[in-house]
Every structure is written in C-alpha cells, then in structure tokens.
Chains A and B, each alone.
Chain A
C-alpha cells in the first residue's frame, strides 16, 4: 500500500476548528432532536397502550408511518418537501436562517420519536395492568395515571434500550449532511477534501463519535442508577 499517513493534518490549518464546529453542530442537532423524539415517543408510546381505540390508532399510525420510511427520505421531505408549502417570503427567510439545520432536526426527531415510541410502549406493557387500575381506582384520571404512575415507572424500566436508541440518533445525525448540515461527518469529509488525507480524517471522525457515544452511555448509566426503582435488580454500570 502506497498510502502515506500524515496525522498532522488533523491539527494543522483549520482542521481543529472544523472538527470542533462539527462536534458542536452534531451535539446541537442531536440534543434538540432527542428532546423532540423523547416527547413524541412518550406521547405516542403511551397512546398506544390506552384503553381507547381511536387514540391507539393515532399512535400506531404515527409509529408505522415514520419508522418505516428511511431517514434519508425524511431528510429530503423536511428540507425539500415542506418549505414549498410556505409563502415565498417565509421560504426565503428560513432558507437564510438555517433551514437545513431545522429540517434535519425535525427529520431526526420525528423519525427517532417513532422508534422511541416502541421502546416506551414496551416499557409500559412490562408494567402489570393492575398498577394502572390501582391508580385510577383512587380517583386519578387516565391522563394523571399515565403522567404520575405509568410513564414514570416505564421510563425507569427502559433506560438501557433508550440509551441504545439515543446513540442511534446521535450516529444518524450524520445523515443530515445530505441536506448540507455541516455536522461532524461533513467536517471530516471537508478535511479530506482539503488535505486528501481520507484515512486520517475518517479516523478522527470515528474516534470522536466513539468518545461521544461512550460519554452518553456513561451519563445514561448514571441516570439509571440515580432513578432506579428500589427492589428491581440494579444493572451494573
């Protein structure tokens, strides 16, 4: 192999600041999308278990519609498909104000919300039905029973699969480069363009993703221990 390694491309020139910008953008888009995904996931996951068929249908429709279409298609949908529905002046405004970022964020959040929904539904279904009955039997409404009892228990049960899903979200944020969001993968490619040193740039990107994922997993493990339900088997961290 004739490849000449030159690791210094990663810290010479602008590479360092590009990587940093990439990390920041990746974290920003992932964090916002995560909040959206968690909110949509909790609401739709809960809807899919309530004793009222039309609401269950709404939840099921959301999940099946959004998780069964590739994320890339959703990126294009939010970036190319949605803006034409707005007035021309509004379009110009959003195109000048980071339309790529917001389209990417929605695509990521809505798509992962559907996947998160499944995780949360599984968590709720793991709770004995009589917990819900006990909650409503003391006068809580169905909404209160979910908000105060069922969802809080479910969230504690699903930390491990939710961590997994969160890491998927972070990694999938790289798909946003297809609609020109300058996130981490985009920036590593940029370094490659400037330096023609693809292996070094990809290695840097890989290591940064690894560090981010390991960091998030560590935070989630801490969250899990902090909120563990007494009496349930504590998972090692």
Chain B
C-alpha cells in the first residue's frame, strides 16, 4: 500500500515539470485548421448565457461572440468559422481553457488579478458589482446588515471570497449553482443571496413572482466581466479585443446590450452613465 502511494506521488511530481514546458499554443492556427472557435459558456445564467424556453442556447455573452468576435477571428484566420459551445462553470472554466477543451470563456467571469496569473482577459464587456437578493421587506438592505445573517453565495465566486474575508460575522453558505442558492433563499435556509447585481436581476426576472423579490444594496465589489483566453496568446487576444473594440466604436455593442437589458429585454438593467464611461475609457474614448 505504501509503495502504491509512493508511485502516485512520484507520478504527480514527474508530470508537473513536463506540462508547462510545452510550446505556446497558437489558438488562431488551431481555429484556422479546424474552422471552429470553441467557447465555454453557461447554461443557467440568464441573460448572459442560458438555455431558453425553446431549448436554444442563447444570451448576451454568446451574442457578443457571434456578432463581434467571430467576424474578427474569421478575418484573422482568413476563412469562415463556426462557433461551438461547451458548458463551463466557475470551477471548470480555467481547466477547460488550459487543457484546450475550449478556446474562449464567454459567460459571467470576473476579471481579477488572481485569475490573470492563469489566463488572459479581453476588454471588459460588462460591468456590475455584488448586491443581495432578498424577500421583499427583508431587514437586509445592504452589506452592512448581514452580520449574523445566513447568506448564500455561489461556490467559486469572488463575492463569497469578499464576504468571508471582510464580513466574517455573516454565516456564509456556498452553493454550486444559482438554482440551489435561490431555492435556499425561497425556503428560508438563508436570509439573502449575494451575487453580481445583474445576475440577481436576472434571477428576479425569471422567478415565478418577480414582485416578491428585491435586489438591494450598493455594489460592495467591482465585477468587470471579461472573456478569458489561454495566457500569452497575443495574436488571439488581439483578435478578440478588436472584435469588442469595433463593437463599442460602431455602436453594435450597445444594440446588443439593448436587446438583452433594454426595457423589452430579458432582464431590464439600464446602463448607467458611469458604466458607459468605464467601458468606453477602455478604447480611449
């Protein structure tokens, strides 16, 4: 038995140095060869990426890839390409990227300094911050009311990390996905559910009785969403960023935003002037 364990440890250590030595992957070359850009995205995060009532896999993030990134990547590889979608979740998305299962993560991933050590991020394509979803009339009105309260969060999210570090008096309960966390809120297992404000707005819009729920509190964190790519692939990143930049410049981006977040969109979430300024500042405007 001891010998077996020794073998496994040796194997793990032996593999470790081999892996990172490999040549840097050229994603564009791979896409040129296969004609396919594979993205990792969510199935249950409306309106960014989800499976709708007609069983179609759609969303804001997916539209951005289809309408802004895809043409630019096609131009870079010099041929028409297809988009393929795979499911990614917070714990799986970085491994999916690094093991080449997907080329681009386009969902609801916050651009953080920690993550930048493992992956590269595109320009920020959405800006939100952490808030709370509560039953209407709840004593929780914001991050200053959560001491002693049971707070649900999503496993692997930046919000959970902030609550744990800065608000340790709250009783944090971490769920692997949105539906479980919402169920816990609906049944009273928890007093509030914290996530990015836009996600909570989406959840509220989708709830059986949206009027029963409130999204409360100021942003207690900054959550700029970016698309993630394998680290160090400058050519591919340039293509993705060019697509987004073109979208901002031409106004196409704002049309897509309006489609999903406008008054008639899935989740009404009007863009504030500050957010618009933040987004345009990225391209020097």
B171 to chain A, nearest CB (A): 7
In the docked arrangement, what's the CA distance between A48 and B190, Å?
Answer: 41
B10 to chain A, nearest CB (A): 12
Question: Does B14 sit at the interface, judged by CB under 8 A?
Answer: no
In the docked arrangement, what's the CA distance between A207 and B99, Å?
Answer: 21
Question: Does B133 sit at the interface, judged by CB under 8 A?
Answer: no
B149-167 interface mask toward A, CB cutoff 8 Å, 1 = contact, 0 = none? 0101001111011000000
- Which of B4, B91, B99, B230 has most A Cβ within 10 Å? B91
In the docked arrangement, what's the CA distance between A196 and B155, Å?
Answer: 13
Q: Please pick, from A83, A91, A194, the residue contacting B114 in the complex, using a CB distance under 8 A.
A: A194
Q: B114 to A1, Cβ gap below 8 A?
A: no
The residue in chain A whose Cβ has the minimal distance to the Cβ of B171 is A96
**In which size bucket is the chain A interface?**
35 or more
Question: Does B183 sit at the interface, judged by CB under 8 A?
Answer: yes
Q: A210 to B8, Cβ gap below 8 A?
A: yes
Q: A189 to B19, Cβ gap below 8 A?
A: no
Q: A198 to B114, Cβ gap below 8 A?
A: no
Q: A214 to B119, Cβ gap below 8 A?
A: no
The residues of B that contact A211 with a CB separation of less than 8 Å are 5
Q: What count of chain B residues pass the 8 Å CB interface test?
A: 50
The residues of A that contact B157 with a CB separation of less than 8 Å are 193
Q: B4 to A214, Cβ gap below 8 A?
A: yes
Question: Does B265 sit at the interface, judged by CB under 8 A?
Answer: no
In the docked arrangement, what's the CA distance between A196 and B94, Å?
Answer: 8
Q: Please pick, from A83, A182, A203, the residue contacting B189 in the complex, using a CB distance under 8 A.
A: A83
Q: A99 to B5, Cβ gap below 8 A?
A: no
The residues of A that contact B156 with a CB separation of less than 8 Å are 189-190, 192-193
- For window 1-38 of chain B, which residues contact chain A by CB distance below 8 Å? 1, 4-5, 8-9, 12, 16-17, 19-20, 22, 24-25
Chain B residues within CB distance 8 Å of chain A: 1, 4-5, 8-9, 12, 16-17, 19-20, 22, 24-25, 90-91, 94-95, 98-100, 112, 114-115, 117-119, 150, 152, 155-158, 160-161, 171, 173-176, 180, 183-184, 187-190, 230-233
A-B contact sample (19 more), CB < 8 A, given A3-B98, A198-B95, A210-B5: A1-B98, A2-B98, A2-B231, A2-B232, A4-B20, A5-B16, A5-B20, A7-B16, A83-B187, A180-B173, A182-B174, A186-B174, A189-B91, A189-B156, A193-B155, A193-B161, A195-B114, A196-B94, A214-B4
